[in-house]
Structure 1
Amino acid sequence: MPNSQLTAVLFMVLSMVAYQISASFAKQLFEVLDPITVVTLRLCFASILIILMFRSWKIIKRLPYLRWNELLYYSGSVCLMNVLFYASLGKLPQGIAVGLEFLGPLTLALLSIKQKTDYIWVFLAIIGIALMVPWQDATAHNFSYLGAAFALGAGVCWAIVRQNIGMHALSIAIVLSALVMLPISAVHNPDALLQTQYWGKALLIALLATAIPYALDLLALKQLSKMSYGTLSSLSPALAAISGMVLLNEHITAWQTVALICIMIASVGVTFRAAKSSNAH
C-alpha cells in the first residue's frame, strides 16, 4: 500500500476513534446532564466549529438560491439522528447502540443487491440483529428495547444523512439543528443549559464528534476509494464497543460480540459487492 493511502487509512481510523471517544464522553456527561441538554450543547459548539472550519459565511449571499426543501429535509435528519443516538446511548452499551444504528445505512445498501449469492450479507445482518437482543431475558441490564428503537431510528436518519448534498449542507444542518434544539432545551431543562462548568466538556465532545472527524475524513477521501472508505467504516461498531469498555467500563455478552462481528462482515461484504458492480458498469 502506498504511503499516501496508508496515511489516508490512518486518518480514517483516527476519525472513527475520535467520534467514538466523543460518544463515551457524552455518556459520562449523562451522569450530570440529560441527553437532550448534551445534544443541544454539542450542536451549539459544533455549529461554531464547523462554520469556522468550512468558512461557511461565504455562502450567505447564496442562501436565497439554495434548494431549501432538500436542505430542511437533510437538516431535520441530522437533528433527529443526534437526538435519537444520544437517547440510545443513555439506555444501551455504546457498542450495541452503534451496532444497531449501523443497521440503517447497511439496510439501505442491502436493499440494492440484485444477485442471489449476495443474500448471504442479508442473512448475516439478520443473525446480527437476532444475537444482539437477549430474547431470554427481556430485563437484561445491558439491553433496552426502547434504547434499541432509538438506535434503529438514528440509523434510518444516518442512511438519509449519508446522501450528502454538498459540503456546506452540513454547516447549515448543524446550525439549524442547534437553533431547533435550543428552545426545546430551554423549556425542557433551562437550568442545565446554564451550568457553564460542563461547557468545556461539551466543547470537547463537539470537537471530537464533528470538527476532527470531518477534517480527517476530507483528508482521507482524497486518497481512498469508496470501497476502502466503506470497508473501514465497518469498524465503527467494534471501535464503539472498545471505547465503551475502556472509558465506560461497559461489557457486552459473547453473543452480542458475535452479533457485532456479523454486522461488520455484512457491511464489508456489501461494500465489496457495490464496488464490484460499479466497476462492471
Structure 2
Amino acid sequence: MPNTQFIAVLYMIMSMVSYQISASFAKQLMTVLDPFSVVTLRLCFAAIMIIVMFRSWKILKRLPYLQWRHLLLYSASVCLMNVLFYASLGRLPQGIAVGLEFLGPLALALLSVQRRSDLVWVLLAIAGIALMVPWQQATEHNFSFLGAAFALGAGCCWASYIYFGQKVARQNIGMHGLSIAISLSAAVLLPISLWHNPDAVLNTQYWKPALLIALLATAIPYALDLLALRQLSKLSYGTLSSLSPAIAAIAGMLLLKEHITFWQSLALLCIMTASVGVTFRAARKPAPETS
C-alpha cells in the first residue's frame, strides 16, 4: 500500500531531524567530556527511557525464543556505530566525519540495486554527498587519518545496522528489539567508562544534557528507524539516508544563517532528486525486499 511507504519515509525524515538537533547538544557536551563518556551516558539514559516507554519487561518471557543471532549483531552494530562515530568527531571536522560515515549506507544501497533504473538514484545520492562534504578540509594539517578510519568504520556499522535492523523489525517483537539492543550496548560500555573515566560518568551535572541527547539522538530516531525499516528496502533506506547532511545544511542556513555554496546547492538538488525518486519507486512496490 503506497501510503505505508510514504509514512515510512516520513518516519525517516523525522528521525534524521531529531538526530541533527541532538548534534549541537552533543558537540557542546564533548567540549568538557571525552567522546566515549558521552556515548556511554547517552546509551545508558536511552536504555532507561526506551524500556519505560515501551514497557519492555513484557518481552522477558519470550527471550529464550528470540532469534538472538540477529539481535546480537544488531546490538553490536548500534554500539560500535555510536562509539566509532563519536571518536571520529573528536578528531575530524564534522562535515568530513559525516560524509565518510554516509559511505556505509550508500554502499549498501548500491549493492542492493537490482534494476538499472534504481542505480540512477543511488549515484545521484553519492554525487550529492561528494559535493556536500567539505573535502578541502582534509588537506589541513590537523586532519586525522585515524579519525577517518573511525568514520569509515562507523559507516560499515551503519550498513550492518540497516541490514540486521530489517531482520529484527520482522521478528514481530515491536520496539522491544530496540530496547534489547540499547540495553546490551549500555551494559557493555558502562563498566568500561567507569574504569576509564568514572568522574565523568558519575558527575550529575552532565546527566541533564546527556538525557536530552539520549532522547533526541537515540530513543526517538532509532524507534522511528525500526518503524521505517518494516516498510523500506535496504536500497530505499540507504539512499534516503543521504537526506541527513542535506537537512543539516538547510537547518544551518535557516537557523544559523550559514552560507551554502553553489556546489552545496547542487548537492542538495542531487540528494533531493534521489530521495524523491527512490520514494516514488518504493511506493510502487507492494512490499520491501526481504534479502
Q: Would you say same fold, with TM above 0.5? A: yes
TM-score by length of 1: 0.77
Pairwise CA distance, 1:100: 3.2
Partner of 1:102: 102
User: Offset of 1:135 from its aligned partner?
Assistant: 5.9
Taking the TM superposition and a 5 Å limit, the aligned residue runs for 1:144-163 are 144-163=144-163
Q: What is the CA distance between 1:240 and its match in structure 2?
A: 2.6
Instruction: Give the direction of change, closer, same or farther, for the CA distance of 1:177–1:275 in structure 2 (3 Å limit).
Output: same
> Letter of the aligned partner of 1:178 in structure 2?
A
User: 2:140 matched to which residue of 1?
Assistant: 139
**Residue 245 and residue 139 in structure 1: after superposition, are their counterparts in 2 closer, same or farther (change >3 A)?**
farther
Which residue number in structure 2 is paired with residue 66 of structure 1? 66
Q: Report the alpha carbon displacement of residue 130 of structure 1 after superposing the two structures with TM.
A: 4.9
Is the 1:21–1:243 contact (alpha carbons within 8 Å) kept by the matching residues of 2? no
Once the two structures are overlaid, the 10-residue window that deviates more, 95-104 or 74-83, is 95-104
In the aligned structure 2, how far is the partner of 1:263 from the partner of 1:54?
A: 34
Point out where structure 1 has 5 or more consecutive residues left out of the alignment.
none
Q: CA deviation at 1:72?
A: 1.5
Question: Quick one: percent identity of the two aligned structures?
Answer: 70
In structure 1, how many angstroms separate the alpha carbons of the residues matched to 2:106 and 2:94? 18
1:192-242 CA-partner distances (Å, limit 9, x unpaired): 112211110000100112233356667x86xx9648x85765421112334
Change (3 A) 1:72 1:109: same
Cα deviation for residue 180 of structure 1 reads: 0.7
**What number of residue pairs does the alignment pair up?**
275
Residue 37 of structure 1: aligned partner = 37
The structure 2 residue matched to 1:210, chosen from 218, 223, 238, is: 218
CA contact (8 A) 1:97 1:148 kept: yes
Shift of 1:171: 0.8
Q: Kindly state the Cα deviation for residue 8 of structure 1 after the two structures are TM-superposed.
A: 8.2
Contact 1:46–1:210 (8 Å) recurs in 2: yes
User: Hey, what's the Cα distance between the residues in 2 that align with 1:235 and 1:215?
Assistant: 18
Cα drift, residue 76 of structure 1: 0.8
**2: CA distance, partners of 1:83 / 1:38:** 9
Please give the per-residue CA displacement for 1:89-114, whole angstroms capped at 9, x wherever unaligned: 32344454334323322221211223
* Preserved contact between residue 19 and residue 208 of structure 1 (Cα < 8 Å): yes
Match of 2:189 among 181, 184, 206: 181
Gaps of 5+ in 2: 170-174
TM-score of the superposition, structure 2-length normalised? Answer: 0.75
How far apart, in 1, do the equivalents of 2:10 and 2:138 lie? 40
2:247 to 229, 234, 239: 239
Map residues 101-140 of structure 1 onto 2, 5 A cutoff.
101-121=101-121, 123-125=123-125, 127-128=127-128, 130-131=130-131, 132=133, 134=135, 138-139=139-140
Q: For 2:21 and 2:82, how far apart are their aligned partners in 1? A: 15
